[in-house]
């Protein structure tokens, strides 16, 4: 066990970041630092955001416990929660952490890997890059040895996958253009690391995890704005919204 990494995973902090148009609260290890009353308030506010960005069935089926896990994650796993507020009202949230097993970080090619857990912004505030800005601020403040060079996560939204693909300039798998062997290896090792912790993943193929979310997240089929990319997402990768399929991606920052 790396004591320094264990300490890093359990540390707490909360700070306010003032953007020009909104306030961002960055909370490290929210389950440890926030009171029960504060957590309940955030769960209610996050539920309202999810009702506007997902489908009603997803919110009702998840329930309070599901949404709590969705935004706060597991205790002492280094979860970083970003709350975006406008006039003291939550307009969105984002949660990330460095991929780990509770004791040490997962490393690929000697580098940590950023796990993108969730991110939802009210429709009227989308397009302002709040999630990207807050994530970049967090990464910039990490120590050199813990600064991630890769990012991975799961999504049921082709718009998210296309956005990440553009942000990393195509250095991502899955990729409709060309598969990068290094990233393919990283994606496979990351999935094995996740499964080694007891998480059972039913793979439809190399990138799609069947029934990963247990339920359909979005009420209607999401489109990315690029018909070719959408065909790749829904037909080539075979993502089925109704059965809760999620795409696992792995990209180089």
- Residue 14: C-alpha distances to residues 32, 153, 155, 246 (Å): 11, 24, 27, 31
Residue 116 has a CB neighbour count (10 Å cut-off) of 20
52 CB burial (10 A radius; 0-12, 13-18, 19+) = middle
Strands 150-155 and 246-252, sheet pairing? antiparallel
According to DSSP, the residues that pair with 153 across neighbouring strands are: 116, 249
Q: Taking 90 as the threshold, does the pLDDT of residue 175 lie above it?
A: yes
Per-residue pLDDT tens for 85-128? 999 999 999 999 999 999 999 999 999 999 999 999 999 999 89
How far is Cα 6 from Cα 104, in angstroms, rounded to an integer? 6
29: confidence class by pLDDT, cuts 50, 70, 90: very high
According to DSSP, the residues that pair with 252 across neighbouring strands are: 150
How far is Cα 190 from Cα 18, in angstroms, rounded to an integer? 34
φ, ψ (nearest 5 deg) of residue 120: -140, 130
Closest CA to 249 of 145, 158, 177: 158
How far is Cα 56 from Cα 46, in angstroms, rounded to an integer? 13
Per-residue pLDDT tens for 127-167? 899 999 999 999 999 999 999 999 999 999 999 999 999 99
pLDDT at 3: 52
Q: Taking 60 as the threshold, does the pLDDT of residue 2 lie above it?
A: no
Token pair for 120: 């939802």
Angle at 247 between CA 242 and CA 252, to 5 degrees: 160
pTM for this predicted structure: 0.93
SS3 84: strand
């Amino acid at each position: 066990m790396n004591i320094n990494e264990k300490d890093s995973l359990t540390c707490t902090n909360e700070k306010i970041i003032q953007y020009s148009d909104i306030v961002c609260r960055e909370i490290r290890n929210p389950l440890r630092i926030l009171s029960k009353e504060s957590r309940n308030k955030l769960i209610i506010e996050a539920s309202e955001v999810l009702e506007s960005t997902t489908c009603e069935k997803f919110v009702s089926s998840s329930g309070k416990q599901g949404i709590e896990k969705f935004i706060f994650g597991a205790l002492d796993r280094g979860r970083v929660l970003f709350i975006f507020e406008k006039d003291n009202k939550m307009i969105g949230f984002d949660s990330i952490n460095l991929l780990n097993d509770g004791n040490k970080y997962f490393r690929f090619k000697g580098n940590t890997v950023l796990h993108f857990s969730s991110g939802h912004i009210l429709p009227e505030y989308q397009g302002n890059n709040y999630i990207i800005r807050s994530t970049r601020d967090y990464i910039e403040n990490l120590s050199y040895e813990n600064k991630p060079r890769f990012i991975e996560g799961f999504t049921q939204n082709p718009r998210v996958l296309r956005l990440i693909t553009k942000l990393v300039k195509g250095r991502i798998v899955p990729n409709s253009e060309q598969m990068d062997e290094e990233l393919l290896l990283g994606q496979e090792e990351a999935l094995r690391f996740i499964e080694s912790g007891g998480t059972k993943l039913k793979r439809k193929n190399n990138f799609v995890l069947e029934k990963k979310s247990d339920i359909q997240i979005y009420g209607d089929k999401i489109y990315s704005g690029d018909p070719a990319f959408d065909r790749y997402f829904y037909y080539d990768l075979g993502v089925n919204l109704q059965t809760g399929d999620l795409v696992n991606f792995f990209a180089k920052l």
